[in-house]
């Protein structure tokens, strides 16, 4: 799937739409999810035009991959989630129910989280 520069996270990264920022560096931006599913629900995005984990892992430069992965760890640490624990998750494609086509990791915490998947 080709990257669409009009997606909402691209617009947030360009500063065209506001966000509740929690962290930013040269590689990543993190902000609170607009529809939180846990007491802490933060999204961490790489600064680069990548649709999904598959796209990013295959095509991003090593410096960005390293910077992004480190940023995710740093955000969890800075939010005080390391000791109590947390969950990271990235939805991809139709079966994964990804709704925004710019790679993002969800970071959940702040309470004992439920089952990993809802059974249907």
Helices (H) and strands (E) in the chain, counts: 3, 5
Stretch that binds ligand AMP, among 30-38, 55-63, 73-81, 112-120 (CB under 6 A): 30-38
Our finding on whether 34 is near ligand AMP (CB under 6 A) is yes
- Give least dist CB 1 to ligand AMP, A: 13
- Residue 116 has what DSSP assignment? S
* Coil, helix or strand at residue 47: coil
Our finding on whether 24 is near ligand AMP (CB under 6 A) is no
Pair of tokens at residue 58? 């295959």
Q: How far apart are CA 29 and CA 68, in angstroms?
A: 9
Give 15 or 61: the residue with its C-beta nearer to ligand AMP: 15
- Give least dist CB 113 to ligand AMP, A: 15
Q: Report whether 49 contacts 11 (CB < 8 A).
A: no
Catalytically active residues are 104
| Binding region for ligand AMP (CB under 6 A) | 8, 19, 33-35, 43, 91, 97-100
């Amino acid at each position: 799937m080709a990257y669409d520069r009009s997606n909402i996270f691209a617009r947030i990264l360009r500063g065209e739409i506001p966000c509740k920022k929690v962290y930013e560096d040269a590689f990543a931006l993190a902000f609170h999810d607009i529809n939180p599913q846990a007491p802490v629900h933060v999204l961490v995005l790489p600064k680069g035009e990548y649709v999904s984990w598959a796209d990013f892992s295959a095509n991003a430069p090593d410096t960005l991959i390293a910077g992004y992965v480190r940023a995710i760890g740093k955000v969890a640490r800075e939010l005080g989630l390391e000791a109590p624990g947390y969950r990271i998750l990235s939805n991809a494609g139709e079966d994964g129910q990804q709704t925004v086509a710019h790679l993002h990791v969800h970071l959940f915490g702040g309470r004992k989280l439920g089952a990993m998947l809802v059974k249907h």
